[in-house]
Structure 1
Amino acid sequence: MLTVEQIIAAQKAQVATLFDLSSKALASVEKLNELNLQAAKASLSESASHAQALLSVKDLNELVALQNAALQPLAEKAASYSRHLYDIATGMSAELTKLAEAQTADAQKQFVSAVDNAVKNAPQGSEAAVAAVKNAVSTATAAMESVQKAVKQAAELAEANFNAMTSSAVTATKPATKSAKASA
């Protein structure tokens, strides 16, 4: 049976967790806003200088060369933006995962404690039922750990695939812009 102090302590812990999670979510939103602001400032500055360069073009070959020269940095900047965005998302995901793991561990401890208390007060002859409950708890704990391990591996694989994809996308634009420059 839970005491009033245990209920109050649990509620305090939940409120603290909620505020901690809210703080981390706001920090991620702040990082995202900062990234978007930096991207907008850079885009505005580059657009202004590109417009100035376009105004100084004297012939069609110069125009084609100028446009082709703008393609490669654009692809690299898009890949960089995507990487930063991905880093923000994975950072928040990692924080949520830590929180979920801590909450799960705490819940498991409380459940095991409750089972142990029930076992102590179990009537004579219920040893088989107690052993079955303990076995079920250890099986559930092992399954939870296995799922957490699989989720971590999947996240690592997704990150590796994302990095490989952005790297190949940037690399793929390099030959295209070089061949376009050569034909101009």
Structure 2
Amino acid sequence: MIKPEEFAKSGFNFALFFANTTFDGIERLAVLNLAASRSAFEAFVSNVNTLLGVKDFKSFVEVQKELAAPTLEKGIEYSRNVIAIATDAKEKIAKQVETHVADTSAKVSGMVEKALESAPAGSEVAVAAVKTAMKSANEAMDGLNKVAKQAAEVAEASVSAATEATIKAANVAAPKAAAKKVA
């Protein structure tokens, strides 16, 4: 027999897992942001020193073009790291939710089955209705899980496509902008 305390403990453990996973992701983002800030500052200082040493406008444009590419690449790498951290946290939580829902569903089904076994004679129709309702609820939950996974996959693919499009657009725009400044 499943006890109410087991449900409460299971819910508490799930909430604790969720909180720890979230804090882990936040901590990883903080470390990433600190490293990116330090790197950006160091690059800024280096770039300013390089630009101060330029003697003419044509050289200035060339140096600026050379300095833009690594900055863009670092920005894209930062975006990829943020996406990786978010995806990792989402996958951990989604897996735990799936496990928790399946476990809870099995426990509830077991309790209902036990209760239905002791149903009075002549209540077969009501027992069948309860079993059908439980089966329908489980199928609906499975359908929702599949839709949620598909939505997450589409969102991740969209972010990846947008990142790649940004990279391509920036690589095309940077040389054109530099060429206009020279002319």
Q: Same fold (TM over 0.5)?
A: yes
Counterpart position of 1:11:
8
Whether 1:69 aligns to 2:58 is no
Say if 2:14 and 2:100, in contact at 8 Å, map to a contact too: no
AA at the equivalent of 1:118: A
Q: 1:48 aligns with which of 27, 31, 45?
A: 45
Whether 1:97 aligns to 2:114 is no
Counterpart position of 1:180:
177
**Offset, 1:138:** 0.7
Cα distance in 1, alignment partners of residues 149 and 10 from structure 2 = 26
Counterpart position of 1:32:
29
Cα distance in 2, alignment partners of residues 12 and 144 from structure 1 = 22
CA RMSD of aligned residues (A): 1.9
Moved more, 166-175 or 20-29: 20-29
Q: 1:170 aligns with which of 159, 167, 170?
A: 167
Counterpart position of 2:155:
158
Aligned residue for 2:122, secondary structure, equals coil
Q: 2:138 aligns with which of 141, 159, 168?
A: 141
AA at the equivalent of 2:89: M
Runs of 5+ consecutive residues of structure 2 not aligned to the other structure: none
CA distances 1:18-54 after superposition (whole Å, capped 9, x unpaired): 3333322222122101111110111011011101112
TM-score, normalization: structure 1? Answer: 0.88
Aligned residue for 1:68, secondary structure, equals helix
**Offset, 1:137:** 0.6
Counterpart position of 1:120:
117
Runs of 5+ consecutive residues of structure 1 not aligned to the other structure: none
> Among the aligned pairs, what percent are the same residue?
33
Cα distance in 1, alignment partners of residues 145 and 6 from structure 2 = 27
TM-score, normalization: structure 2? Answer: 0.89
Say if 2:25 and 2:89, in contact at 8 Å, map to a contact too: yes
Cα distance in 1, alignment partners of residues 112 and 118 from structure 2 = 10
AA at the equivalent of 2:46: S
AA at the equivalent of 1:88: I
**Offset, 1:182:** 4.1
